[in-house]
Chains A and B, each alone.
Chain A
Amino acid sequence: MDDAANSGISEPLDLVKLSLGERVFIKLRGDRTVTGVLHAYDAHMNVVLSQVEETIHIVDVTEDGNPLPPRIEKRNLEMLFVRGDGVILISPTQQ
């Protein structure tokens, strides 16, 4: 039933388990994404990452309410704890 490539996945959290120690991409609420090495997670999707790059997508609005082209802000963090309720998506980064 399972694909050979996914023989180890029987519940969605297994996908996250298989990414432990790997670099993952996480999409968060509030137009933020982070990538980092996954150190720990739990059922809430609270997550601990190292070597983190956070990307924030900002759309500024002019005084008359028109959106300006999106702006991207980045910052690097050594170690990061992400609260689970902000998580939308987790994907292992391909490299």
Chain B
Amino acid sequence: MDSASPQPEEQAAAAGSPSEFLKNIVGKRVKVRIGSGVDYHGLLTCLDGYMNVALEETEEWSNGRKTAEYGDCFLRGNNVLYISVLEAL
């Protein structure tokens, strides 16, 4: 609520800005859903301002089935619908 007051560190991820959230989840295991409904699970290597995403150990999931695996993969930002964290922050 009181967004002007400084946040304790453990709350920063929950209460900060969206880009702060993205900074905090680098290196975590994430699920990236793209517009077509396909999910990519993997370790978030990095992302940029376009929301281009680089993942490691990526699994591609399409209607409940694993459809592919990629060691590294680059996802073009315009396709990203959401990024969800699969582990504790």
Contact = CB atoms under 8 A, between A and B. Distances in A.
Bound together: yes
Interface of A: 1, 3, 6, 9-16, 25, 45, 84-85, 87-92, 94
16 contacts: A9-B45, A9-B46, A12-B46, A12-B54, A12-B74, A13-B52, A13-B74, A14-B46, A15-B74, A45-B76, A88-B34, A89-B75, A90-B73, A91-B58, A91-B74, A92-B72
A44 to B, nearest CB: 9
Interface of B: 27, 34, 36, 40, 45-48, 52-54, 56, 58, 70-76, 78-79
Q: Main secondary structure on chain B at its contact with chain A?
A: strand
Given A1-B27, A12-B54, A89 B73 contact: yes
B56 A90 contact: no
Contacts of B40: 89
A15 B36 CA distance: 23
A55 to B, nearest CB: 13
A14 B41 CA distance: 20
